[in-house]
Amino acid sequence: MKELIEKHPKKGKSWRDLVYFPIIFNAIGLLSMSLLFIFLPETSIGSADFNTVIYLSVFITEWLLASIVIRRLRRQGVSLKQLIVPKIKYRVLPAILVFISLNALFTAYMVLSLRFGRISTIGNLNPLQVVFFIALSPMTAGFVEELIWRGYFIEELLKMGISEKKSILFSSISFAFIHGFFLIDKLAVTFLTGIIAGKYYVRERNLLTLMVAHVVMDIVAFILIIKALVC
């Protein structure tokens, strides 16, 4: 790996970022939690305010990292449109299958996690929080995470001569760890999600379908965990 980075110094950033991006996500999340408990010690884990602060930190982090990736793409002469628009002929059946597969997998995980207490529900949200959780957060995650972990990382690894299978594997591992280091079941599900999405992207080169599927996944997930939509 060191030889690859030295041979392709600019592309070596992709290797580092596969590690750095998840660390940044988790570090900012832990910092947000720490500050929350310092300044609002009465806040409880699972409360509306707690979840709002945590997901807001994720929201900001995602746009920060997206801005970095977008600048790099521009320096390479690649526009967002070029990356998002399907690079080969659009096929309906694979798009439907990946959409159903990703949503079925994640919805099943959410239902089981709620059933066995692995994930807590969120109650007493005000209207602005509802909009954030149901609209802004899913749209951001769907756009940014697919842009970075499928469209950017996989393409960069392929340019470096890494095989398709390894490119999908490495991007999926990194993708899993942005969702936390400690919940093994969540790591496994997000890793599998990354594998499915990565295989689809490599075969179909269609980032837009993955973005739409991801947005719907997150909307369904938040609907499941919101216990009371308004105060």
pLDDT digits (tens, 9 = 90+) for 169-181: 999 999 999 998 8
The residue with greater pLDDT, 137 or 121, is 137
d(C-alpha 121, C-alpha 110), whole Å: 11
The one-letter amino acid code at 84 reads: I
What is the average pLDDT score of the chain? 89
- How far apart CA 216 and CA 109 sit, in angstroms, is 15
Angle between helices 207-225 and 137-146 (to 10 degrees): 150
Quick one: what percent of the chain has pLDDT higher than 70? 91
pLDDT score, position 44: 73
Sign of CA dihedral 70, 134, 180, 123: positive
> Does position 121 have pLDDT exceeding 80, yes or no?
yes
The distance of Cα 211 from the centroid of its chain, to the nearest Å, equals 10
Q: What would the mean pLDDT of 119-130 be, rounded to a whole number?
A: 88
- Give 13-45 pLDDT, tens digit per residue: 778 999 999 999 999 999 998 888 888 787 776
pLDDT tens by residue, 89-106: 899 999 999 999 999 999
Tell me the pLDDT band of 11, cut-offs 50, 70 and 90. low
Q: What is the mean pLDDT of residues 103-115?
A: 95
Residues 59-74 have pLDDT tens digits of: 999 999 999 999 999 9
- pTM of the full predicted structure? 0.90
- Give the per-residue pLDDT at 183: 82
Three-state SS sequence of 55-103: HHHHHHHHHHHHHHHHHHHHHCCCCHHHHHCCCCCCCHHHHHHHHHHHH
